[in-house]
Structure 1
């Protein structure tokens, strides 16, 4: 794919590495370097993936606003607030944000999408969905029609959201959780992996699915095997 835009990635961790791979292989952006807080940059050799690393404080000097876009590549630490704070900090500098949208995602043509979004392969986003800024959708999620997703939200893989739902700022939705039709998830909620949520939530609630427990009988007995 022809590279038409120059990009700086904010972050030095695994998410930054993954973002680099996706932007380089499946977007019009050429990753030119990285930036992070000084305390992290000082622990590097000044390079990552063969590209320069600079302090956020020096970002404008090295990468002018007029020539580069940025992408904040950070996970869901402190319920997305780490990423939120960095996003807001970079925004006050005046930079424009890139988003990555996989060529293997299905996104209806009337979906509204904010900036600094990370939408990986096999996501299905149906008609009349709106997605705010700084939202991450890992691989293989389903977002039902007319659902509204606010800002700074993180979806793990294979989350199923029915139609007419709403999800508030800074929520986290764990792998394989399911949200019923028309459910409203309030701001700052943590919906754990495997949760089936069929009712509205209150701000800041945490939901966890029952833990799997081992049966009394061992597999060697059940399947007639010799015990190791």
Structure 2
């Protein structure tokens, strides 16, 4: 069990607090946000402290950190907080729902994996990844750092997902496919071949759009 500081006070942080409280051995002790967004000093009955000074309130030697943020700016916002908290000396927890199905998979730190995800054998997941509810993650795959799956995504077997990728609801990815760095797969898109870095893919079968993903999301 760890005493945990959560980054944020919006929906995702509130959900993280709920899941950690009701479905883990961890104890949430506080929230933290950047000073410019610090409007209240309490959330969910717990203190809210400025992120710029969080280590003076909650020493990294005694507390762990969790930053379960959205995929905005192609996961770069979440990466920034993750790296800054790491530079402060914090270790991170990951939350994996007791209602997810795993098979001894290797999963990194600061991951937020919700209910009804199936992660088949021999698939590895990196650091700072979010898998919202109800995804199928196929066997013998690799998901690298700073990736976001929404819900009901089907990632078939032997796929490689490079960092900063984002998958919309009901996206489908064919087996043995490589999803290049920063790929945005739109909702209901069907990927049948390797993607290009920072591409946006829509449709079934999916086609690449002319605008890069970092200008879309």
Q: Please confirm whether the aligned pair reaches a TM-score higher than 0.5, indicating the same fold.
A: yes
Residue 33 (structure 2) pairs with residue 19 (structure 1): no
- After the TM superposition, list the runs of 4 or more consecutive aligned residues in structure 1 that deviate by more than 4 angstroms: none
> 2:103–2:121: 8 Å Cα contact kept in structure 1?
yes
- Determine which of 53, 67, 81 is the counterpart of 1:58: 53
Map 1:181-192 → 2, pairs under 5 A: 181-192=175-186
Residue 27 (structure 2) pairs with residue 30 (structure 1): yes
Q: Distance in 2 between matches of 1:152 and 1:131?
A: 10
Give the superposition deviation at 1:45. Answer: 2.1
TM-score by length of 2: 0.92
Match of 2:97 in 1: 102
> 1:13–1:74: 8 Å Cα contact kept in structure 2?
no
Alpha-carbon RMSD? 0.9
> 2:160–2:179: 8 Å Cα contact kept in structure 1?
yes
Give the superposition deviation at 1:35. Answer: 0.7
Match of 2:6 in 1: 9
Q: Structure 1, unaligned stretches of length 5 or more?
A: 211-228
Q: Which of these two proteins has the greater Rg computed from alpha carbons?
A: 1
Match of 1:80 in 2: 75
Q: Distance in 2 between matches of 1:191 and 1:16?
A: 25
Give the superposition deviation at 1:13. Answer: 1.3
- Determine which of 65, 72, 76 is the counterpart of 1:70: 65
Q: Distance in 2 between matches of 1:123 and 1:190?
A: 20
Match of 1:114 in 2: 108
TM-score by length of 1: 0.88
Match of 1:216 in 2: none
Give the superposition deviation at 1:121. Answer: 0.3
> 1:140–1:158: 8 Å Cα contact kept in structure 2?
yes
Map 1:209-228 → 2, pairs under 5 A: 209=203
Give the superposition deviation at 1:34. Answer: 0.5
Match of 2:165 in 1: 171
Q: Distance in 2 between matches of 1:150 and 1:15?
A: 22
Map 1:133-144 → 2, pairs under 5 A: 133-144=127-138
Q: Distance in 2 between matches of 1:135 and 1:74?
A: 9
Match of 1:130 in 2: 124
> 2:136–2:155: 8 Å Cα contact kept in structure 1?
yes
Match of 1:215 in 2: none
Q: Distance in 2 between matches of 1:169 and 1:114?
A: 13
